[in-house]
Amino acid sequence: MGIPHGVLEQVLDGEVLYDEPMSRHTSYRIGGPADVMVCPRSVQGIQAALRIARQYGASVFVLGGGSNLLVRDGGLRGMVLNLYGTLKGIRAEGEEVTAEAGAKVTALVNFCARRGLAGLEPMAGVPGSVGGAVKGNAGAFGATISDHLTSVRVLELTGEERVLTREVLRFAYRQSSLTEGEVLVSATFRLRRHNAAALQRRVAQILEERKARQPVEWRSAGSVFKNPPGDFAGRLIEGAGLKGARVGDAMISPKHGNFFLNLGQATARDVLALIALAQERVRERTGVSLELEVRVVGEP
């Protein structure tokens, strides 16, 4: 059963959108419509939305910045809980910094650098939200976002709130133990004091290194595949002769083989065809089975 129009508006403190194209909310600019998208402005708003979802038996998909995400062309059924840009507060207490799940990773990095709090500079330029980055244990330049994390606040789909420490989150390469049944509300990091000007210079340097290595000027979801042990997915794809390979308006970047680009009008089907091609060619050439890092969701 779907959620009737008007029900959410009575209890929610934010925007409610019906048949909302997911292409407006992903870094790929790809994706069919969500049945209903809610954009709560508070934890209480999230809890109200979750109550309605339970009442009508609707599935819940939590959306952050929409990076590292490919939504199929048929879109998403149930409720999309969009936290990006609404729950975006960041605050510091001494050497501890807490960021709400919808805050941009770049905003968090800049906030810390300006205040002379070191540790998160390698995350400069990582797209998307703090919530998504923590859940997927985003990483760059030999570091991961979990390196300095101490705890997270989550809501169960029942609306119950819990605090989970780093030790119970079982972080690993590009993953954590956070489940679809846990809505991450905020994350807390313990950092160290350092010269603010030096940190800001380091952030700028990392951004320049990203620009040199990665096709940041194009629409993409970031790295498509996880790096296999002892190697790099991009190197294997390039070795298979696939730089510049194209299906429809989706193309494997000529600059970096692990970035698949939307040249303008690409569909999820186009990107998935390129993914299958890369996996097949690399497996035939090297015997390595590339594992997806990008998350694929939705209906065909």
Would residue 293 show up in a list of annotated catalytic residues for this protein?
yes
Q: Which of 29, 115, 174, 246 is catalytic?
A: 174
Q: Which of 223, 238, 253, 281 is catalytic?
A: 223
Would residue 77 show up in a list of annotated catalytic residues for this protein?
no
Q: Tell me the three-class secondary structure of the chain, residue by residue.
A: CCCCCCHHHHHCCCEEEEEEEHHHCCCCCCCCEEEEEEECCCHHHHHHHHHHHHHCCCCEEEECCCCCEEECCCCEEEEEEECCCCCCCEEEECCEEEEECCCEHHHHHHHHHHCCEECCHHHCCCCCEHHHHHHCCCEECCEEHHHHEEEEEEEECCCCEEEEEHHHCCCECCECCCCCCEEEEEEEEECEECCHHHHHHHHHHHHHHHHHHCCCCCEEEEECECCCCCCCHHHHHHHCCCCCCEECCEEECCCCCCEEEECCCCCHHHHHHHHHHHHHHHHHHHCCCCCECCEEECCC
Which residues are part of the catalytic machinery? 174, 223, 293
